[in-house]
Amino acid sequence: MTTTPDTAATSIALFEPALFDRLRASLPEIEAEAGRCDRDGAFPEQGIALLREAGALSAPLPATAGGFGLGTEPAGALGMLRLLRLVGAANLSLGRLFEGHVNALKLLVRYGTAVQAQGAANAVRDGALFGIWVTEGTDGLRYTQDVPGAPLRLEGAKLFASGAAQVTHPLVTARSPDGDTRMMLVPLRDDRQASAMPASLAGMRGACTGRHDFSGLVRPADALVGAPGDYLRQPEFSAGAWRGMAVALGGIDRLVSLFCTGLASRGRDNNPHQQVRIGEALIAQETAALWTRKAALVAEGDRFDPADVAATVNLARIACETAGLDVIRLVQRGLGLSAFLAGSEVERVMRDLATYLRQPAPDETLVEGAAWFAGRTLPDADAA
């Protein structure tokens, strides 16, 4: 399911202008829906429909499957970064759902069979929304199989499942009777068993994050994707974080813009203390952009040492998180109590961004990246 670099680059170059023209035309509607969806159980139906109409949901598919390789072909890394960043700036909850869709397709293309990858492409063209659900509690997802090749019987649930009531094709991790972790594609129809989380999230409420119980479901043996341990295999396990960073970068973009316009509307943008905050926010924004770009090029390139890839993306993830938290702090100090007015756009974007940035094990991520590059040089993403 690959193309030659020249073919992929040509396809992407021809496709990108139309995609981004359609997306930009839809941004006002996507942004307006973000405010309406700031409530528990909400879902950006209009935003998903607009992404589908623009061609964004099929854009990650390889050219051989009728897509344009954004995010799945090396030549499409920066195109996908731009796409995720734009969507994240318009609606972080929609960006989370879209990033999950892209992530699932990337894993299916990388680890699935040709038949599975083509099946995914056909499903996307028929309107499917993919997602990836891996978080679980004590009732983690398990499967049993009477004999090799027999149907898979599922038991257990996934938590913090974005689009729990709407994603049609979740890619999940499940444990085998031997304790191996396997990926599994579980298309959902009338057998959906979604429910709300026990407690509400402070932010990202428009992503319909919930719990999905798979207990009692049966799927054919060919629902298994890849080999045991593939989901945790490096460098892809760490490298895929760059796509979440791109969405967060969009949220940073939006928050910096709201900060600057908010100060200007009150005539406070000429105050030297506020100008210091504006300057620091712009520095943080560009820092996140540079690290995200580097991570995307290194992760999607095919000429870097796998350990270099994982460590680079780990460092980039922390840099982006730090930049986002710095911008939130600067906005709160610069706008004062007005930044905390419930229902305002700046308050919602701050909540969404703070929630979205809370990825697991940040300290471990930083330590691993730093330890690897102690005495080494970061890879040059732009080197020929």
Residues 51-104: pLDDT tens digits? 999 999 999 998 888 888 888 888 889 999 999 999 999 999 999 999 999 999
Rounded distance, CA 94 to CA 29, Å? 12
What number is the average pLDDT over the span 265-279?
96
Between β-strands 194-196 and 157-161, what pairing exists: parallel, antiparallel or unpaired?
unpaired
Could you tell me what percentage of the chain is helix, strand and coil, using 3-state DSSP and rounding each to the nearest 5? 55, 10, 35
For 151, counting Cβ atoms within 10 Å of its Cβ (0-12 exposed, 13-18 middle, 19+ buried), the class is middle
Query: Is the pLDDT score of 218 beyond 70?
Result: yes
Rounded distance, CA 178 to CA 187, Å? 24
Are 148 and 192 spatial neighbours (Cβ–Cβ below 8 Å)?
A: no
Specify the residue for token string 């050219």: 63
Query: Contacts for 110-116 with beta carbons within 8 Å, 24 or more apart?
Result: 110/72, 110/236, 111/183, 111/225, 111/226, 111/227, 111/230, 112/185, 112/225, 112/226, 114/1, 115/222, 116/185, 116/222, 116/225
Q: What are the φ and ψ backbone dihedral angles of 268, each rounded to 5 degrees?
A: -105, 0
Listed residue (311, 257, 316, 282) closest to 88, CA to CA: 257
- Residues 6+ away with beta carbon under 8 Å from 49: none
Specify the residue for token string 């990926």: 183
- Give me the residue spans of the domains in the chain: 5-129, 133-225, 236-373
Listed residue (156, 17, 26) closest to 91, CA to CA: 26
Helices (H) and strands (E) counted in the chain, each on its own, are 11, 10
Q: What is the pTM of this model?
A: 0.93
Longest dimension (CA), the chain: 73
Query: Is the pLDDT score of 182 beyond 50?
Result: yes
Are 154 and 146 spatial neighbours (Cβ–Cβ below 8 Å)?
A: no
Half-sphere exposure of 242 (CA within 13 A, CB side): 32
- Give the CATH fold of the 5-129 domain: Butyryl-Coa Dehydrogenase, subunit A; domain 1 (1.10.540)
Which residue has better confidence, 65 or 38? 38
What number is the average pLDDT over the span 175-204?
93
Query: Is the pLDDT score of 14 beyond 70?
Result: no
Residue 255 token pair: 């928050």
- Beta-carbon neighbour count of residue 227 at 10 Å? 12
Query: Is the pLDDT score of 335 beyond 50?
Result: yes
Query: Is the pLDDT score of 11 beyond 60?
Result: no
Query: Is the pLDDT score of 1 beyond 80?
Result: no
5-129 and 236-373 in the same fold: no
- Residues 6+ away with beta carbon under 8 Å from 275: 269
Class (C level, CATH) for 133-225: mainly beta
Whole-number pLDDT of residue 361: 86
Whole-number pLDDT of residue 12: 47
Listed residue (152, 151, 153, 155) closest to 136, CA to CA: 155
Residue 261 token pair: 């316009």
Chain mean pLDDT for the chain: 92
Specify the residue for token string 């734009």: 86
- Residues 6+ away with beta carbon under 8 Å from 51: 23, 57, 87, 94, 98
Is the peptide bond preceding residue 151 cis, with omega within 30 degrees of 0? no
Query: Is the pLDDT score of 2 beyond 60?
Result: no
CATH 3.40.30.10 fits 236-373, yes or no: no
